[in-house]
Amino acid sequence: MKAKHVPERTCIGCREKKPKRELIRIVRTPEGKVFFDPTGKASGRGCYICPSLSCLKKALKGNRLSNVLKIEITEDTKKRLQEELFIAVNRAKSSK
């Protein structure tokens, strides 16, 4: 029996390849808004990141997120993404 294909994506923070379901998608809409996409289906340019603050900090520090999404990331957006990721990580831990 053939094994089921598991889609993999690369985290923009740590650069590790992981199954798509283990990562969180960040999307830039055509209007220029940047946010976490829990469904993974929002339209726009997207990238993936591990559910850890250290990976987000690496992605923001090296301007990787800006480069991948092809948009300038403002300080307000950086703070909002960090807060949203912190909430998402804590929610995931409490549900386990």
> Radius of gyration over alpha carbons of the chain, in Å?
14
Domain 8-95, CATH number (from 3.30.365.10, 3.30.56.10, 1.10.260.40, 3.30.1230.10) = 3.30.1230.10
Q: In this predicted structure, what is the pLDDT of residue 28? A: 96
Q: Please report, for the chain, the start and end positions of each structural domain, with discontinuous segments joined by +.
A: 8-95
End-to-end alpha carbon distance in the chain: 32
Each residue's pLDDT tens digit, 7-58: 999 999 999 999 999 999 999 999 999 999 988 899 999 999 999 989 999 9
Number of Cβ within a 10 Å radius of residue 78 = 18
DSSP-assigned letters across all residues of 9-44:
EEBTTT--EEEGGGSEEEEE-TTS-EEEESSS--SS
